């Protein structure tokens, strides 16, 4: 049955408010020791109590963001506070670097071996400071942000296994996360800081990592933005590239830069043509730009976040440009996503499907899946659909 834009908006809204958030509210809060359980099985039962810093911070971000942007629900602020207090106390080493994981009680398990824990901490505490008005949270956010800036040239520090000099390369994740993070930190940054970072980011992503002819985002390039003929250099992560493109659209929209918006939309559409599984539908997880065998054995799997970030990019691209290819692809990806990832029986979404679209792991949360991509994308799609004046149907 065809669904109108407003029916679709309601679908995303209801899934967020009546299905996904209640799942995390009921199952993930560690009321005894603070923070969140993210390893939840299909029914929501905790199967592992370790606390992974990315996911702890992302859940603080999600509930704070919804409190700030959607509705001042006291319960949401309390959930965010339960994570923020635990993390501020347990999450960092003496130098203020964020660990990768802790045990249930908050004792460190994995060292701060890259800057992404710090990135998600800065995002989380910025939103939480805004929500709570707490000065200490603002300080935590600012300290994490300065950590990220300080470590960005050498994100892995002593844990970096690359031999220096033989094959220098830079990675898409760094400018991409920096752009998103700086937008989040906007209210805490002084002077032209934000515009400076955004300029650098847009330049790096669109000139160095995007191959404009192919319309593909490369995960790794030389410092000068050239391709590298090796596993890392040929690597395409379609979901990651598409997510980067909606960050760019977001920045371009602030600047009223229609040309940049259209470049980003072009890249999304070309990436989808390249990465759509013509046999079983869905978007591949990893690909080799030259068609060689990728290193990643999970390359052909269909992951929740890949499809959700793609929906955000397509609906945003459609709202900003009105291009019908965006809407057609949105309907196609929407159908696949809602038919395969939603768990009608126990709530929330499956995360990992095999190539055929069957459930590979029935977990609702784990080491990498938490309360983040599903609610963020449902919220953004809902907002974008409400902002669309179009009368399209899916």
Give the list of residues 6+ apart from residue 113 with CB closer than 8 angstroms, or none: 100, 156, 157, 159
**Interacting residue with a copy of itself among 3, 19, 68, 111 (CB under 8 A):** 111
Contact between 32 and a copy of itself by CB under 8 A: the answer reads no
Stretch that binds a copy of itself, among 102-110, 117-125, 184-192, 307-315 (CB under 8 A): 102-110
Contact between 256 and a copy of itself by CB under 8 A: the answer reads no
**Interacting residue with a copy of itself among 78, 103, 273, 390 (CB under 8 A):** 103
Ranges within 273-332 binding a copy of itself (CB under 8 A): 290, 292-295, 297-301
Binding mask 49-88 for a copy of itself (x = CB under 8 A): -x--------------------------------------
Identify the burial level of 293 via C-beta atoms within 10 angstroms of its C-beta, where 0-12 means exposed, 13-18 middle and 19 or more buried: exposed
Three state DSSP letters for 247-300: HHHHHHHHCCCHHHHHHHHHHHHHHHHHHECCCCCCECCCEECCCCCCCCCCCC
Please state, in angstroms and rounded to a whole number, the distance separating the CA atoms of residues 353 and 296: 15
Contact between 223 and a copy of itself by CB under 8 A: the answer reads no
**Interacting residue with a copy of itself among 161, 190, 223, 279 (CB under 8 A):** 161
Please state, in angstroms and rounded to a whole number, the distance separating the CA atoms of residues 271 and 90: 40
Stretch that binds a copy of itself, among 76-84, 252-260, 332-340, 348-356 (CB under 8 A): 348-356
Stretch that binds a copy of itself, among 67-75, 82-90, 219-227, 229-237 (CB under 8 A): 229-237
Whether 93 contacts 53, CB under 8 Å: no
Residues in the chain: 394
**Given the complex with a copy of itself, which of 12 and 120 has the nearer CB atom?**
120
**Interacting residue with a copy of itself among 27, 355, 373, 376 (CB under 8 A):** 355
Please state, in angstroms and rounded to a whole number, the distance separating the CA atoms of residues 92 and 114: 13
Stretch that binds a copy of itself, among 12-20, 156-164, 258-266, 334-342 (CB under 8 A): 156-164
Residue 365: CB minimum distance to a copy of itself, A: 10
> Would you state the structure tokens that stand for residue 28, as one six-digit string?
């993930």
Contact between 41 and a copy of itself by CB under 8 A: the answer reads yes
Stretch that binds a copy of itself, among 45-53, 133-141, 261-269, 334-342 (CB under 8 A): 45-53
Please state, in angstroms and rounded to a whole number, the distance separating the CA atoms of residues 376 and 120: 14
Residue 313: CB minimum distance to a copy of itself, A: 23
- DSSP 8-state secondary structure symbol assigned to residue 191: T
Residue (of 265, 278, 254) closest to 330 by Cα position:
265
**Given the complex with a copy of itself, which of 118 and 184 has the nearer CB atom?**
118
Contact between 33 and a copy of itself by CB under 8 A: the answer reads no
Task: Give CA angle at 20 (14, 22), nearest 5°.
Answer: 100
Please state, in angstroms and rounded to a whole number, the distance separating the CA atoms of residues 305 and 285: 10
Whether 371 contacts 38, CB under 8 Å: yes
> Would you state the structure tokens that stand for residue 310, as one six-digit string?
């793609």
Query: Which residues of this protein are in contact with a copy of itself, per CB under 8 A?
Result: 39, 41, 47-48, 50, 99-100, 103, 107-111, 113, 158-159, 161-163, 166-167, 229-231, 290, 292-295, 297-301, 352, 354-355, 360-363, 366-367
């Amino acid at each position: 049955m065809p669904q109108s834009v407003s029916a679709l908006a309601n679908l995303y809204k209801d899934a967020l408010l009546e299905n996904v958030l209640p799942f995390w509210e009921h199952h993930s809060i560690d009321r005894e020791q603070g923070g969140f359980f993210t390893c939840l099985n299909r029914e929501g039962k905790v199967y592992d109590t370790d606390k992974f810093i990315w996911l702890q911070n992302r859940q603080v971000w999600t509930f704070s963001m919804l409190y700030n942007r959607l509705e001042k629900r006291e319960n949401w602020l309390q959930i965010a506070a339960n994570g923020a207090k635990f993390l501020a106390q347990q999450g960092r080493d003496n130098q203020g670097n964020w660990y990768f994981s802790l045990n249930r009680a908050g004792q460190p398990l994995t060292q701060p071996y890259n800057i992404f824990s710090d990135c998600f901490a800065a995002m989380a505490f910025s939103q939480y400071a805004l929500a709570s008005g707490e000065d200490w949270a603002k300080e935590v956010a600012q300290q994490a942000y300065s950590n990220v800036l300080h470590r960005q040239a050498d994100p892995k520090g002593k844990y970096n296994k690359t031999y220096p000099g033989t094959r220098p390369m830079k990675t898409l994740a760094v400018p991409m996360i920096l752009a998103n993070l700086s937008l989040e930190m906007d209210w805490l940054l002084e002077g032209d800081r934000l515009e400076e970072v955004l300029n650098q980011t847009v330049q790096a992503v669109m000139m160095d990592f995007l191959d404009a002819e192919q319309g593909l985002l490369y995960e790794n390039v030389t410092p000068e933005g050239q391709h590298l003929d090796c596993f890392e250099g040929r690597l395409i992560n379609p979901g990651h590239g598409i997510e980067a493109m909606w960050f760019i659209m977001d920045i371009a929209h602030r600047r009223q830069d229609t040309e940049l918006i259209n470049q980003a939309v072009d890249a999304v559409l070309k990436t989808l043509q390249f990465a759509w599984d013509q046999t079983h539908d869905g978007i591949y997880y990893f690909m080799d730009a030259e068609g060689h065998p990728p290193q990643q054995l999970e390359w052909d799997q269909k992951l929740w976040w890949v499809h959700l970030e793609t929906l955000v990019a397509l609906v945003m691209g459609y709202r900003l440009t009105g291009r019908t290819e965006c809407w057609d692809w949105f309907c196609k990806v929407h159908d696949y996503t809602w038919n395969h990832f939603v768990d009608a029986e126990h709530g929330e979404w499956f995360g990992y499907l095999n190539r055929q679209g069957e459930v590979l792991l029935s977990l609702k949360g784990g080491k990498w899946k938490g309360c983040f991509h599903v609610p963020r994308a449902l919220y953004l799609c809902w907002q974008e659909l409400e902002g669309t004046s179009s009368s399209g149907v899916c």
